Amino acid sequence: MTTIGLADVKHLIRMPGYWDLTEMKKWQLKDGTTFDAAVSRFAAALSLFNGSLRSGYLANYLQISPEMTLEYDSGGDSAALREISEYDNPDPILAASTGHMIPLKDYGGSLGWTYLGLRRARLAHLDRDIRRLIERARNTWDKALLTRMFKSTYDAVGSSGRSMPFADGGTADANYVPTSHEGSSFLSTHTHYFRQTDDAAGRLAAAKSMAETLYEHGIMPPYDLFIPTTDIADWAGVTGYVKPERSWLQTMGVETRAKLAEDYIGVLEMDRTWAFIKPFNRLPANYAGMFKPAGFNNPNAPLMVRYEEGYPLGLSLVGRLQNFPMEEAIAYFTFGVGIANRIAGAAAYFAAAGAYTDPTIA
């Protein structure tokens, strides 16, 4: 396999060696569109999708790397350097560390373009297939990111490797202790997963707990509070909720409103922190999460997305050597999601009793 030599197609559509786009002009769809034009059109669609992985809303929460492992500090204390004399030999300072792995998974789908199907197809038909392919790729991507952000257990990597959640009280890794901050130290039992009652008081208590877990680690507000779209009315009734200000809405100074981007539906003000409220259709009812958007590929971002070295992050379309170009083409999407910073996120579940339970992301 080689990559055809157009800059906008390279790495997006891979075809067997010695296929020539000029020659492909001789082949036409039913509506007269030549295959070189169709291939370039598909490549443009894939390029837009792949670019969106780095610029969409959730891109603010991730780093990318081909590396399969992470290592980070564990523990800390409030001790200071002691005063020494000229001939003292101070004790050595040794720091502890732990780490985990980032999975890598292959996703894909066949477009099922048969010989007769391509011979009789119109470009509009193929466009619909590409749109459905991109829709499923988007579903795969968003679900993978949100699932890892709200999952309280580890993912197995190989036979003994683990991809860890946020600080979970020591269940996934009993050796992990969050690093100390400004004199405050923590235990391995420290957790960022909470369960509160399914009412306004429970939601406020959960929001405060999630915010405090970020704040005490030195992650400063404002935060983003992820909520299900179905729970918008419930959160609007929580003490401290402030409605957003909109350009088309005049309050005549009667109400206090928050100046927010259109993505957010309000602000939640708490004791010493605040959070912008972001609804998600994919989140099921009675869940919430709190995170700090750091920006794409920022080392403070909570998620790490692993991609395969030598290949770009995103969709690629592979053609087979048949009768028509792109006959029986297969789309590949290879990536994996793990936690990059185990103290940079928190999640809550609302129920009358019990413990935090992982949600199923739609």
CA distance 178 to 200: 30
Distance CA 255, CA 275 (A): 19
Average pLDDT estimate for 6-18: 50
State the Cα–Cα distance between residues 303 and 60, nearest whole angstrom: 9
Query: Does residue 65 have a pLDDT over 70?
Result: yes
* Cα→Cα distances 238→203, 212, 266, 278, 341, Å: 7, 17, 11, 15, 29
| 9 in a structural domain | yes
Predicted confidence at residue 23, as pLDDT, reads 66
Establish if 323 belongs to a structural domain. Answer: yes
Rounded (10°) angle between helices 35-55 and 123-150:
20
Q: Which of 92-101, 320-329, 345-354 has the lowest mean pLDDT?
A: 320-329
Does residue 119 fall inside a structural domain? yes
CATH code assigned at 255: 3.90.1690
Tell me the pLDDT tens digit for each residue of 290-316.
999 999 999 999 999 999 998 889 998
In a domain, 230, yes or no: yes
Identify whether 87 is part of a domain: no
Query: Does some domain include residue 357?
Result: no
Asked whether residue 85 is domain-assigned, the answer is no
Percent of the chain with pLDDT over 90: 60
Segment 331-349 mean pLDDT: 97
Q: What DSSP assignment string belongs to 143-180?
A: HHHHHHHH--SPEEETTTEEE--S-BSSSS-TT--PPP
- Residue 270 and residue 211 in contact, taking contact as beta carbons nearer than 8 Å: yes
Backbone torsions φ then ψ of 284, nearest 5 degrees? -75, 165
Structural domain contains residue 102 = yes
pLDDT tens-digit profile of 167-202? 999 999 998 999 999 888 999 999 999 999 999 999
The residue assigned the tokens 């590396």 is 67
pLDDT at 10: 40
Residues 93-112: tens digit of each pLDDT: 888 899 999 999 999 988 87
**Nearest one of 232, 214, 217, 229 to 270, comparing CA atoms:** 214
Question: In whole angstroms, what is the distance from residue 75 CA to residue 78 CA?
Answer: 11
Q: Coil, strand, or helix at residue 135?
A: helix
For 255-272, b/e burial (b = at least 16 CB within 10 A) is eeebebeeebbbbbebee
Domain that holds residue 151: 2-74+97-350
Q: How confident is the model at residue 18 (pLDDT cuts 50, 70, 90)?
A: low
247 pLDDT more than 60: no
From the number of C-beta atoms within 10 Å of its C-beta (0-12, 13-18, 19+), residue 102 rates as buried
Domains in the chain, number: 1
**pLDDT value, residue 144:** 98
Of 166, 199, 176, the closest CA to residue 344 belongs to: 166
Please say if the pLDDT value at position 28 is more than 70: no
